[in-house]
Structure 1
């Protein structure tokens, strides 16, 4: 609509055409109001019944909530109106009627279960607090891209249909690809390594990953957004530096550019940007600190993965973001390089929020023979990954990187209860539609 004015831009003393959704209807007898909502805010439409054409009044007040209408009229100052102005309509066009029986209340006055909200995501997104989450998400991804570019990284796009899984195992979604078996990719890991070794050196990708995990928890998804980095001539410490910069950049962007959205979510006063640096604890230190909390029924020993309750206990103890470094080699993927001085220790690291793991990364094994041996040690057939391993014969530099869970970053940054609230259309074990 070329002559449309956003509600926030409607100025007293001018004629304007505003269009949007009917947020609320207030009929007070001789006078009635429609609150019209668009992306910029709300505006009041005033109907003085005795002074207006009957057809105009009937058209305007005959619509149901969430119908889409266009209104043309004079904009007048009205301090009692929600935004200080109102429109006296000269014409009302009903563009799209809404069914009076809505499956949920977009005004938010009546709560709905998360499953109902996700079944009706278009309506759910009309709530300011839901829209705020995705406005912040968009700003975070913009800021992350900008920070990667500041760090001289090139954005790439890697295949999501692959012949073999990145990490093997059963967490793969098989598909039929022209009569052959293929899989949805678990991670861009192998491809981003190949590109980092191509003279491009530093690369990043923000894209979907697919994991056929059986988990059905508030923090797991089967299709997620992974924020990935890989850098040539980087070690694990360099990769940790980049991961910390990217997470801090996300918080800074939300604080600087999303004040209204944080206010809508009730987070404006408590929101803080991490600024003290993220502590780096070795795996051995981590299990010692977890054991010292006394929160676990059984003490952790070397080689144990950290249980959820252990992560929570350590998160409470640290009180902020932190890294866990020097993981046992046996519990990290084949492509993670071991320390030269101790092959039982890997260069792998995780970046943790007090609530959960956000990042997994490390220095990669860049030596061909050692890489192939790592495949064999983990029961994988190197021949199935020949497209990957052969490139390590042709001059592969040392390199390191990480994968950051995009939805987990948003979930922890905003204190969301369920990771599905950070996804427009989640995919989990129960949900394949919409």
Structure 2
């Protein structure tokens, strides 16, 4: 819109045209106020009925909430106004009128169920809290990219339509691809390993992943955004160092550049980047500490995966971000390398927030014969992954990496109750539209 002024930039003495949504109308008799909202904030528009044209007053006061309007007028100082200024209108144009019956209240005065909000996401994101989450999400991804570049990593994009899954045929969404069966990729894992074996060496990707899991919980999605890293001539310790720096960089970017958004979410006073270094607990130490809490009905033994209540007990005990290292080889994927001096112990690691797992990673098996054995031990057909395994005949260096769930990072960072809050249009077992 030509000559438009954002509400946050309106200064006393300016003649402006502001445009946005009708947030609220307050009619006090001889005087009335319209609150106009745009992406930068809100501004008060004052109508003195007896001193203004009747049509102007009628247009401004009878327009339905959430209609899009344009107001031209003079900005004046008014300490009692929400932002200390107000506009005395010379003209009001209704650009796009809204229905009088709204499916939810964008002002936030009346709460709406999450399902209603997700069904009406456009309206929902007119709330300053909703807007704040996605402005922070964008800043998180910017901070993550900066951290990767500082680690000399190159951004890549890998296929999302694949012939076979990263970990076999489970949890895959099948599609028809020119008469052939294909799948939506559940991870860029195999492709980023192949690129780490090229002369690019260190690479990262931020992109969608698809998992046909039957979970229907506040922390699971069927389409998510994965932040992935892979580095040649890296071991699992190097990968954990990069992981830690990326997570801290995301927090630091938000702390530095999102003060207004954190205030909208009532987090400004308590928000701070996590302390470093993150503790690194072995799997064996982790189950010992979980058992010592007494929170589980049955004691964990070697080889058990960590149940949700166990993760929570350990998270409460540690009190911050931490790694779990040296997992049993039998419960990690085929491409995770085992320790040279103990084949039952893998180089796999998870990075945890006290609430949940955020990252899974490890050093990869770069020796072709051992990689093929790993396929067979997990019941997978190496021939189905020939595009991947054949490259290991041509000199793949030692390498390590990880994958971080962007939505889980945001969920834990902002203490959101449901991971769907961190996604514009979530995809889960029930939700395919909008």
TM-score by length of 1: 0.99
**Deviations along 1:9-63, whole A, 9 cap, x unmatched?**
1111121100000000011111111000001111111111111111111111120
User: CA–CA distance in 2 between the matches of 1:262 and 1:46?
Assistant: 30
For 1:397, what is the secondary structure of its paired residue? coil
Aligned counterpart, 1:100: 100
Aligned counterpart, 2:402: 402
* Superposition pairs of residues 12-91 of structure 1, within 5 angstroms: 12-91=12-91
User: CA–CA distance in 1 between the matches of 2:376 and 2:118?
Assistant: 43
For 2:305, what is the secondary structure of its paired residue? coil
1:333 Cα shift?
0.3
1:272 Cα shift?
2.1
User: CA–CA distance in 1 between the matches of 2:19 and 2:310?
Assistant: 53
Is 27-36 or 225-234 further displaced after alignment?
27-36
Aligned counterpart, 2:271: 271
User: CA–CA distance in 1 between the matches of 2:315 and 2:415?
Assistant: 15
User: CA–CA distance in 1 between the matches of 2:63 and 2:154?
Assistant: 51
**Deviations along 1:161-216, whole A, 9 cap, x unmatched?**
00000011420000000110000000000000000101100000000000000010
1:366 Cα shift?
0.3
1:224 Cα shift?
0.4
Which runs of no fewer than 5 residues in structure 1 stay unpaired?
Answer: none
For 2:220, what is the secondary structure of its paired residue? coil
1:273 Cα shift?
1.3
* Superposition pairs of residues 343-422 of structure 1, within 5 angstroms: 343-422=343-422
1:276 Cα shift?
3.1
User: CA–CA distance in 2 between the matches of 1:421 and 1:91?
Assistant: 38
TM-score by length of 2: 0.99
User: CA–CA distance in 2 between the matches of 1:201 and 1:71?
Assistant: 55
Aligned counterpart, 2:142: 142
Aligned counterpart, 1:113: 113
For 2:284, what is the secondary structure of its paired residue? helix
Aligned counterpart, 2:171: 171
* Aligned-residue CA RMSD (Å): 0.7
1:254 Cα shift?
1.1
User: CA–CA distance in 2 between the matches of 1:78 and 1:230?
Assistant: 56
**Deviations along 1:316-335, whole A, 9 cap, x unmatched?**
11111111101011100000
For 1:229, what is the secondary structure of its paired residue? strand
For 1:83, what is the secondary structure of its paired residue? coil
For 2:187, what is the secondary structure of its paired residue? coil
Aligned counterpart, 2:326: 326
Aligned counterpart, 1:310: 310
User: CA–CA distance in 1 between the matches of 2:221 and 2:108?
Assistant: 26
User: CA–CA distance in 2 between the matches of 1:14 and 1:253?
Assistant: 34
Relative distance call for 1:157 and 1:2 in structure 2 (3 A) is: same
User: CA–CA distance in 1 between the matches of 2:230 and 2:263?
Assistant: 36
User: CA–CA distance in 2 between the matches of 1:170 and 1:236?
Assistant: 26
